[in-house]
Chains A and B, each alone.
Chain A
Amino acid sequence: AQSVTQLGSHVSVSEGALVLLRCNYSSSVPPYLFWYVQYPNQGLQLLLKYTSAATLVKGINGFEAEFKKSETSFHLTKPSAHMSDAAEYFCAVSDARPGGTSYGKLTFGQGTILTVHP
């Protein structure tokens, strides 16, 4: 079964600094991977997704993630943090795989709370 591990439940950065949120996955086949963001009192919103078309994926709000098969990683980055980036971020892996049966079930990591200081 696939799984996702997010390293660091809390990350704190200064405004304008690099944001790096770590995600490692475990899957027996090439995975479909997602990053979601959750702002207070809201549901999860899709930031970006990896579906094997390109290893570097660009998402909304200036975020991007790079799929590294050799490291089983899908880390999320943003060159310059903004105060509005403060939120909780979730990495997720899908049960979908080429030729297999899938209903779009996602397995989520534990989440990383990003704090941005002025």
Chain B
Amino acid sequence: DAGVIQSPRHEVTEMGQEVTLRCKPISGHNSLFWYRQTMMRGLELLIYFNNNVPIDDSGMPEDRFSAKMPNASFSTLKIQPSEPRDSAVYFCASSAGVPYGLSNQPQHFGDGTRLSIL
């Protein structure tokens, strides 16, 4: 079975450019999570969706960051304009999230996008 698919795997761009990261969750999963990982701050949750609806975006660092999930099989994380401090590895994860916590499913992670802003 295909896992979570992220693209691109690597992105190098200049400061000020728009960056779009893409994620395809596992089929049938209805919760999707975007994380950022850096040496200094570790793994940070940016935003998550359930049934394509954003539930909590309190981790999004600035208005320069935005995320969308137009359908159950696709999500994007956009940075506009990008800055050098946005350089990090960005992960997408999905899970069979349930509306009521009677059971719990793990999150499945993609291999990440390594973003470098020059």
In this assembly, does B34 line the interface, its C-beta being within 8 Å of a C-beta of chain A?
Answer: no
For chain A, the count of residues having a C-beta within 8 Å of the partner chain is 28
Among A90, A99, A104, A108, point to the contact of B105 (Cβ < 8 A). A104
Residue contact A105 to B101, C-beta cutoff 8 Å:
no
In this assembly, does A20 line the interface, its C-beta being within 8 Å of a C-beta of chain B?
Answer: no
Within 8 A of A (CB), among B20-43: 31, 33, 42-43
Given contacts A42-B111, A43-B110, A105-B33, A99 and B102 within 8 Å (CB-CB): yes
Please name all residues of chain A whose beta carbon is closer than 8 Å to the beta carbon of B45 when the two chains form the complex.
105-106
Chain B residue at minimum C-beta to C-beta distance from A9: B42
In this assembly, does A94 line the interface, its C-beta being within 8 Å of a C-beta of chain B?
Answer: yes
Given contacts A105-B45, A105-B48, A46 and B91 within 8 Å (CB-CB): no
Residue contact B101 to A97, C-beta cutoff 8 Å:
yes
**A5 CA / B44 CA spacing, docked (Å):** 15
**A101 CA / B95 CA spacing, docked (Å):** 15
In this assembly, does B106 line the interface, its C-beta being within 8 Å of a C-beta of chain A?
Answer: yes
Chain A residue at minimum C-beta to C-beta distance from B99: A101
Residue contact A105 to B56, C-beta cutoff 8 Å:
yes
Please name all residues of chain B whose beta carbon is closer than 8 Å to the beta carbon of A32 when the two chains form the complex.
104
Please name all residues of chain B whose beta carbon is closer than 8 Å to the beta carbon of A46 when the two chains form the complex.
106-108
Chain B residue at minimum C-beta to C-beta distance from A44: B109
**A95 CA / B70 CA spacing, docked (Å):** 25
Please name all residues of chain A whose beta carbon is closer than 8 Å to the beta carbon of B91 when the two chains form the complex.
43-44
Residue contact A106 to B101, C-beta cutoff 8 Å:
no
Per-residue A-contact encoding for B87-113, CB less than 8 Å = 1, 0 else: 000010101111111111111111110
Residue contact A45 to B109, C-beta cutoff 8 Å:
yes
